[in-house]
Amino acid sequence: MTLTQDDVLRRTGGREVKAIVFTAEQIQQRVAELGAELTRAYPDGDLLLIGLLKGSFLFMADLVRHVERPVVVDFMVASSYGDSTISSGNVRLLYDPATDLAGRHVVLVEDIVDSGNTLRRLLALLISRRPASLSVCALLDKAQMHSPFEELKFVGFEAPPAFLIGYGLDYAEQFRHLPFIADLA
């Protein structure tokens, strides 16, 4: 489905975007592929998917529907942006998952890996809880913005160096509802 400029303006409340970076159709196709990749990578054992809220909620909901094996779902909330378009570097853990990680295959589900600061802190915390394995599934990766992560094993798309909104990604808590991902600039 091709969106017109009027469609985009209606969905964004009149806010113009620079460009649609990934369409709803591209996102849904890639999420289905990621679900199949996770199914193949973890054919057995206890699999726990931990969504990093709030940004991952749409991605996580769509992703688990494409994982064709039993999974347990939990969430974490961490903050490093506030109302800014640049990470503050100060990561605050606001909600910790209640599920015991010991002995489970754990996949942290992220909307976007940007600077990597939040992810580094969370991985250290999760590793300390003795999972059988730990990996990251990110819809978007700004690989040019951070050093590599061994745990980042599942990536939907390489993201451009832009401030992106939509499909869970926000600017000051707005635009998460968009079915596409756009460059806000």
Mean pLDDT of 41-59: 94
Residue with tokens 């992106």: 164
Catalytic residue among 111, 114, 141, 170: 114
How far from the centroid of its chain's Cα atoms is residue 18's Cα?
Answer: 22
- 79's enclosing H/E stretch is strand 72-79
Write down the pTM of the prediction.
Answer: 0.89
Residue 83 pLDDT level (bands cut at 50, 70, 90) = low
Mean pLDDT of 145-149: 86
CA atoms within 13 Å, Cβ hemisphere of 42: 25
- The whole-angstrom separation of Cα 128 and Cα 101 is 10
Residue 49 pLDDT level (bands cut at 50, 70, 90) = very high
**Least confident interval from 22-36, 76-90, 168-182:** 76-90
- The whole-angstrom separation of Cα 89 and Cα 130 is 26
Q: Above 70 in pLDDT, residue 183?
A: yes
Contacts of residue 37, defined as CB under 8 A and 6 or more positions apart, other chains included, come to: 154
Domain 27-79+91-173 class in CATH: alpha beta
- The whole-angstrom separation of Cα 100 and Cα 32 is 27
15 vs 174, residue with greater confidence:
174
Dihedral over alpha carbons 159, 86, 168, 59 (to 10 degrees)? 50
Q: Is 100 a catalytic residue?
A: no
Q: What is the pLDDT of residue 90?
A: 66
- Domain layout of the chain by residue ranges: 27-79+91-173
Q: Above 60 in pLDDT, residue 81?
A: no
The DSSP code sequence of 9-68 is HHHTTT---SEEEE-HHHHHHHHHHHHHHHHHH-SSS-EEEEEEETTTHHHHHHHHTT--
Q: What is the pLDDT of residue 89?
A: 58
Indicate the pairing of strand 105-113 with strand 92-95.
unpaired
**Least confident interval from 31-35, 146-150, 173-177:** 146-150
